[in-house]
Amino acid sequence: MFKHMSTNTINTILIIGVVLLVLEVTFFNGGLIFSLLFSSIFLYIGKKKYRKLSGKVVFWIGLLSLVLTILNMIAVRFLIIVVLVLFVRHYFRSKKEPEQIELDVQVDDFAESEEPFVKQKFFGDEMTAKTSYKWQDVNVHGGFGDRMIDLSHTVLPDDEAVISIRHLVGNVQVYVPYEVEVAVNHSAILGRAAIFQYRKTKLFNQTVSYRTPDYMTNKPRVKIITSIVSGDLEVKRI
């Protein structure tokens, strides 16, 4: 549905949503900030003490309050209505004009287009193939679900391979062969990090950096850059 919309249309919808949010906070619902702050405090306290029953109760009260506050926002209601209207319009248009799939083959002596082995995916898990695949640098973003990249089924380049993943909610796992040097730069709002023998059991709006001793001198090597709102990072040898 969204792939048929122009970038300008999507940007216009987002801009209208932001303007509505500013107007709502400024003129109509000044208590919105306090509601969000209240929910965030409850989520933080509940997360810190989640092992206890009281922590679980506080966490879920904060989460429910946050969801209700967001759903009551004019900007969010506007975006929901827009999505529903676009969905209905797309449904009836697809009935009248079924989508035709055409093969567009272009020959370029200087470039070769290949299907990426890790795709952009907003919902659901994504992982590399369990069979051999040709390496391409990874630069993806995702929404909800886990991401798993296994480097044991590919041949890394002679210079430096790059894995860049920006993700909302979910875990990221990277399996690295023993002979590969690794540098990691990981940031997370909430989560944990396990990079070989290094363990960081609690991350709260923090950045973690790690590099194997021979990273600057030995090859092959891979640079892993990850950014997660809520989730764990695991980098292990295989």
Task: Please state, rounded to an integer, the average pLDDT across all residues of the chain.
Answer: 79
Strand 181-195 relative to strand 198-211, pairing: antiparallel
**Which residue do the tokens 């676009």 mark?**
86
Number of domains in the chain: 2
Asked whether residue 76 falls in the same domain as residue 158, the answer is no
State the first-to-last Cα distance of the chain, in angstroms, to the nearest integer.
40
Q: How confident is the model at residue 226 (pLDDT cuts 50, 70, 90)?
A: very high
Range with the poorest average pLDDT among 78-82, 89-93, 148-152, 207-211: 89-93
Class of residue 39 by CB neighbours under 10 A (exposed 0-12, middle 13-18, buried 19+): buried
- Mean pLDDT along residues 122-143: 78
**Domain endpoint, select from 52, 79, 96:** 96
Record the tokens describing residue 175, joined without a space. Answer: 């399996």
Asked whether residue 92 falls in the same domain as residue 127, the answer is no
Asked whether residue 146 falls in the same domain as residue 46, the answer is no
Q: What is the pLDDT of residues 81-124, one digit of tens each?
A: 887 887 777 666 655 655 443 434 444 444 454 566 566 666 66
* Bridge partners for 236 per DSSP: 175
Integer Cα distance of 93 and 145 in angstroms: 31
- What's the per-residue H, E or C state across 57-105? HHHHHHHHHHHHHHHCCHHHHHHHHHHHHHHHHHHHHHHHCCCCCCCCC
The parent domain of residue 87 ranges over 2-96
Q: What is the pLDDT of residues 20-66, one digit of tens each?
A: 777 877 777 667 777 878 888 888 888 888 888 888 888 898 888 88
- Global pTM reads 0.55
